[in-house]
């Protein structure tokens, strides 16, 4: 089973690969559903493919917006420029984009985006007849419905499903709230996430149904009737295997590199534990501890086990549950002196509690010890963003390891 991680920029892609992704999905500067992410220019896309392929990781390019006629010339030029750089698959939602892709890159692999809202096997087979190799299923499906689809489609047609990250209040992301408030089209990658905003409601009652008054919970922070909980399926790895999904997808191209590393690492540990010994597999609570260390809203299992009409899917608290501080990333390590060199992300002070995160392991706690600046002078803290410093470590450290707040 493939673990597919988000790559909003090169740093995040490297984190995803280092911490266990089998494939990453990313976008160019245009035509992807996350235009607010840094994304990749054409030269960076080529470099990203080279970097990933050298490490046995696949690269999927998102082309899942709904372009207008006036944009197809630009899209055609873009595809001609990147057709030979080694993209492993293209994620598309629009039939016109699919048609253009087949003309310009006839042998390309096509994945059908969740934006198409595929919820049945007949739609899967129709897209397969148009050249698709994989379907990214609608997030509104439950486990049993996915099983039925898997049983009804040809074995060579792959299924992909989201298993962690932000959920949308609208059906498969088809939303116009952002357009209404700020004239930015969510279906073309420019969503401002107004579903997460704080609203004050004075009345919600339909004139012909005066007795049918919705129940709305309002806290001191306001009402959050649009803001969906985040999906988290870490406690249900066996069920994901059983329903026949080929690729497990993590949402989060606009999240931090720390988020990408932690979430990828956690699901990697769980998947490896299950595949190693399915019969004796046990869920490890430390995995939820890891996922709670990243920025997220309240967790839920999405629609895998519940009806989409369940109003418990919206949050009860406003904003994010904040992640642990991302302190530094390891650049090198000297086994003899036990000194590791780090690139600072946030201030760290000698004597504070911290944790070291390394691929394949949960965070290990320690107390920050002796620290030195780039010239070797002993220091009490590393206060400056981007600062290079050394630290004496109680554990062996690998390049790319992360120090976070304890």
Neighbours of 353 (CB within 10 A): 10
Say whether both 286 and 357 belong to one domain.
no
Tell me the chain's radius of gyration from C-alpha atoms.
23
Domain count, the chain: 2
| Digit-coded pLDDT (tens) for 41-90 | 999 999 999 999 999 999 999 998 888 999 999 999 999 999 999 999 99
Q: Judge whether residue 311 has pLDDT over 60.
A: no
Do 129 and 11 share a structural domain?
yes
- Coil vs helix vs strand at 83: coil
Same domain, 278 and 373: no
Same domain, yes or no: 334 and 292: no
Residue that is last in its domain, among 283, 313, 343 = 313
Instruction: Classify residue 367 as exposed, middle or buried by CB count within 10 Å of its CB (0-12, 13-18, 19+).
Output: exposed
Sheet with 353-357, edge to edge strand ranges: 364-367, 353-357, 402-405, 326-334, 339-344, 388-392, 371-373, 378-379
Domain that holds residue 373: 326-405
Same domain, 306 and 162: yes
User: What pLDDT shows up at residue 162?
Assistant: 96
Among 234, 229, 368, CA closest to 290: 234
Instruction: Say whether pLDDT at 173 is over 90.
Output: no
Q: Does residue 256 lie within any of the structural domains?
A: yes
d(CA 224, CA 218): 8
109 is written with which tokens? 């692999």
Asked if residue 391 and residue 259 are part of one domain, the reply reads no
| 127 three-state secondary structure | helix
pLDDT one-digit tens code per residue, 203-214: 666 667 777 666
Angle at 229 between CA 225 and CA 233, to 5 degrees: 155
Taking the whole predicted model, whether its pTM rises above 0.85 is answered as yes
Residues 147, 153: Cα–Cα separation, whole Å: 10
Residue 228: predicted pLDDT: 81
Q: 25: pLDDT confidence band, cut at 50, 70 and 90? A: very high
Determine contact, residues 192/280, Cβ cutoff 8 Å. Answer: no
For residue 247, the Cα-to-chain-centroid distance in whole angstroms is 13
Domain assignment present for 348: yes
Shared domain check, 386 and 256: no
What tokens were used for 3? 């673990």
Distance, in Å, from the CA atom of 120 to the CA atom of 138, rounded to the nearest integer, reads 9
User: Are 348 and 298 in the same domain?
Assistant: no
What's the start-to-end Cα distance of the chain, in Å? 32
Please check whether residues 231 and 344 belong to one and the same domain: no
CATH code at 351? 2.40.30.10
Q: What is the CATH number of the domain that holds 309?
A: 3.20.20.70
Q: Are residues 161 and 98 in the same domain?
A: yes
CB count within 10 Å of CB 72 equals 13
Domain boundary among 281, 313, 345: 313
**323-382 residue pLDDT tens:** 789 999 999 999 999 999 999 999 999 999 999 999 999 999 999 999 999 999 999 999
**Would you say residue 247 lies in a domain?**
yes
Token representation of residue 231? 């999906």
Question: Is residue 19 domain-shared with residue 50, that is, in the same domain?
Answer: yes
Q: How many other CB atoms sit within 10 Å of the CB of residue 402?
A: 26
Q: Are residues 163 and 251 in the same domain?
A: yes
Average pLDDT over residues 138-145: 94
Residue 209 within any structural domain of the chain: no
């Amino acid at each position: 089973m493939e673990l597919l991680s988000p790559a909003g920029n090169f740093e995040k892609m490297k984190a995803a690969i280092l911490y266990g992704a089998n494939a990453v999905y990313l976008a160019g500067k245009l035509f992807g559903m996350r235009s607010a992410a840094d994304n990749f220019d054409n030269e960076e896309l080529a470099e990203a493919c080279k970097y990933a392929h050298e490490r046995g990781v696949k690269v999927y390019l998102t082309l899942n917006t709904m372009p207008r006629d006036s944009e197809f010339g630009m899209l055609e030029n873009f595809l001609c420029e990147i057709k030979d750089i080694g993209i492993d698959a293209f994620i598309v939602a629009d039939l016109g984009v699919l048609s253009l892709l087949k003309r310009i890159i006839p042998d390309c692999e096509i994945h059908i985006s969740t934006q198409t809202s595929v919820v049945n096997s007949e739609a899967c087979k129709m897209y397969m007849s148009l050249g698709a190799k994989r379907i990214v299923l609608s997030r509104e499906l439950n486990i049993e419905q996915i099983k039925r689809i898997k049983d009804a489609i040809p074995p060579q047609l792959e299924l992909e499903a989201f298993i962690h990250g932000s959920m949308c209040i609208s059906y498969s992301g088809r939303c116009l709230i952002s357009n209404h408030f700020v004239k930015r089209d969510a279906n073309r990658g420019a969503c401002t996430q107004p579903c997460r905003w704080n609203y004050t409601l004075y009345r919600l009652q339909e004139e012909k149904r005066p007795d049918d008054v919705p129940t709305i919970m309002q806290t001191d922070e306001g009402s959050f009737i649009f803001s969906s909980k985040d999906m988290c399926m870490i406690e249900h790895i066996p069920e994901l295997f059983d329903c026949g999904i080929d690729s497990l997808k993590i949402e989060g191209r606009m999240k931090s590199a720390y988020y990408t590393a932690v979430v990828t690492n956690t699901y990697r540990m769980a998947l490896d534990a299950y595949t190693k010994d399915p019969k004796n597999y046990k869920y490890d609570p430390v995995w939820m501890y890891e996922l709670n260390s990243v920025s997220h809203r309240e967790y839920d299992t999405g629609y895998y086990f519940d009806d989409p009409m369940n109003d418990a899917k919206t949050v009860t608290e406003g904003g994010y549950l904040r992640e642990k501080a991302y302190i530094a990333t390891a650049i090198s390590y000297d086994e003899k002196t036990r000194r590791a060199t780090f690139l600072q992300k946030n201030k760290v002070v000698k004597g504070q509690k911290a944790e070291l995160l390394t691929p394949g392991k949960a965070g290990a706690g320690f107390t920050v010890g002796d620290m030195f600046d780039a010239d070797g002078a002993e220091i009490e803290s590393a206060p400056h963003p981007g600062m290079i410093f050394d630290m004496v470590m109680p554990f062996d450290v690998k390049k790319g390891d992360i120090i976070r707040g304890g």
